[in-house]
Amino acid sequence: MNTKHQKISVAVDVLLFTISDDKLQIVLTKRSSEPFKDMYCLPGVSLQENETPEEAAERSLRERTGLTDIFLEQLYTFGDTERDPRSRTISIAYYALTDPDKLLSSNLNEAAVLMPADRILSGRIKLAFDHKKIIEYGRMRLKGKVSYSDIAFEFVPEDFTLPQLQKVYEILLGEELYKANFRKMISPKVEATGEMLTGLAHRPSRLYRRKKARP
Amino acid sequence: MNTKHQKISVAVDVLLFTISDDKLQIVLTKRSSEPFKDMYCLPGVSLQENETPEEAAERSLRERTGLTDIFLEQLYTFGDTERDPRSRTISIAYYALTDPDKLLSSNLNEAAVLMPADRILSGRIKLAFDHKKIIEYGRMRLKGKVSYSDIAFEFVPEDFTLPQLQKVYEILLGEELYKANFRKMISPKVEATGEMLTGLAHRPSRLYRRKKARP
């Protein structure tokens, strides 16, 4: 094989998860030009010579959703040779997590929509490029990571109720949890704020926040 | 920012781990030209237009070590803007695992050496590019993955003794294990072959193999 230093286009695509309407949702944008015109895809940018992949992912988030300073981590690099019909392009995919309030108060681009992950993964929505594959991979990573890390907290506001947090765990894991088991698992990680959440739709409920790690 | 579809050089570097002399070792090659001439680096190739990153990683392994069909998984994509002084180059890093017998009976390139991971990570060996950072990241992933997967088996031959396998776990985890705890943890995963390992250097020892997953 002739192994020249060939140059290749590099995309950085961001899989932004949030939870709203008790569903895991993903931010998609509609393509305005060919290829895949009018189809949904993940928000992405072309990696520039003077930026790191992480900076490009932050730029994509900022331009499409107005969000900054949220959880962002590299997911995987997708490099099938036929994934972009225009020219050879690899995609460094990142995933990001946000609570829905932050997203709704942000400057979400008009072309951006929230789409339930289940609906995308069932195949009812056809996505551009290999973005369905990226979402499948990201969904798997998210589920795995919930079990051994604290990423579930990224989906709730700073102050939250325990039922609210339990619901997030259930949505991410895709299964119902016993309240007693959940409370036992979560209690070392949270502390009461001393405030109550009040409202007409439910009984007053204690508010909690994430316990700060000891220095 | 002017966001043209800039093209970028893409390297695929492979971090090949093995265990020999009771140490975790990494295959390095010596650079024959500038930049970083005569310094060690990970075996890598330049990604070609007509191959996937995984195919490029397999090619790098095959050309530098003669190895095929071993554990190979994408690690992370490194993209600091200054990581290659020649031109902007990102590196899609893979990690691979092999038992030492396979490596020693393979066609290891003359320029390739085995270097203890500890020696590299202590900083006593200066590596080209950001390859030390790649190795730090890979060492961390390997340690994490040992706990929740069966990758330790990749470092032993098909038939092995339990002390041999325990040693592999200890090296990967960086801590000694109690024999009784190890046996309890490992027994659902292995079965006796019925053969014994005999030799002058040790007492005869039962040989085991990995239990096949039920279909």
H helix intervals, B45-96: 53-65
In a domain, B50, yes or no: yes
CATH of the domain at B124: 3.90.79.10
Indicate if B174 and B90 belong to the same structural domain: no
Are residues A135 and A32 both part of a single domain?
A: yes
pLDDT at A199: 77
Model pLDDT, residue B3: 57
In a domain, A215, yes or no: no
* pLDDT for position B2: 46
Is the C-alpha dihedral spanning A207, A142, B12, B89 positive or negative?
negative
Q: Is residue B44 in a domain?
A: yes
Selected residue of B33, B86, B88, B140 to mutate for chain A interface (largest A Cβ count, 10 A) = B88
Angle at which helices B162-173 and B131-148 pack, to 10 degrees? 130
CATH number of the domain enclosing A169: 1.10.10.10
* Same-domain pairing of A171 and A127: no
Range of the domain at B162: 157-210
User: Same domain for A143 and A88?
Assistant: yes
Q: What is the pLDDT of residue B4?
A: 63
CB proximity list for A197: less than 8 A, separation 6 or greater:
A159, A161, A204, A205, A206, A207
In this structure, are residues A188 and A211 in contact, taking their beta carbons and an 8 Å threshold?
A: yes
CB atoms near residue A168 (< 10 Å) = 22
Amino acid identity at B104: L
Q: Is residue A78 part of a domain?
A: yes
Specify if A17 maps to a domain: yes
In a domain, A4, yes or no: no
- Within this chain, do residues A142 and A163 fall inside the same structural domain, yes or no? no
User: How many of the other CB atoms lie within 10 Å of CB of A36?
Assistant: 17
Domain boundary among A100, A122, A148: A148
Q: In this structure, are A58 and A130 located in the same domain? A: yes
Flag whether residue B79 sits within 8 Å of chain A, measured between CB atoms: yes
Whether A1 shows a pLDDT value over 50: the answer reads no
Q: How far is A6 from chain B (nearest CA, A)?
A: 6
Clarify whether residues A120 and A193 are in a common domain.
no
Residue A140 has pLDDT above 80, yes or no: yes
Distance in angstroms (rounded) separating the CA atoms of residues B150 and B189:
9
**Chain A residues closer than 8 Å to B146 by CB:** none
Q: Residues A106-121: what's their mean pLDDT?
A: 86
CA distance B92 to B43: 12
| A55 and A130 assigned to the same domain | yes
pLDDT at A16 over 90: yes
Does any domain span residue B71? yes
A52 vs B80: CB contact, 8 Å cut-off?
A: yes
Residue of A70, B11, A124 lying closest to A132 (CA atoms): A124
pLDDT per residue of chain B (215 residues) written in tens, 0 to 9: 445 668 899 999 999 999 999 999 999 999 989 999 999 999 999 999 999 999 999 999 999 888 999 999 999 999 999 999 999 999 999 999 999 888 877 777 777 899 999 999 998 899 999 999 999 999 999 999 998 899 999 999 999 999 999 999 999 999 999 999 999 999 999 999 999 888 777 778 899 999 987 65
Q: Which of A94, A126, A148 is the last residue of a domain?
A: A148
Contact between residue A43 and residue A50 where contact means Cβ atoms under 8 Å apart: no
pTM of the model: 0.92
**In this structure, are A74 and A24 located in the same domain?**
yes
pLDDT at position B1 is 44
Do A122 and A170 fall into the same domain? no
A141 touches chain B (CB under 8 A): no
**Residue listed under structure tokens 């290659």:** B84
Examine the domain organization and report whether A142 and A160 are in the same domain.
no
* Residues in a beta bridge with B19: B24
Residue with tokens 């015109």: A37
Last residue of some domain: A129, A148, A167?
Answer: A148
Residues B75 and B92 occupy one common structural domain: yes
Asked whether residue B2 is assigned to any structural domain, the reply reads no
Q: How far is A104 from B186, CA to CA, in rounded Å?
A: 49
Q: Does residue A125 surpass a pLDDT of 50?
A: yes
Average pLDDT score over residue span A12-39: 94
Q: Specify the number of domains making up chain A.
A: 2
ipTM score for this prediction? 0.91
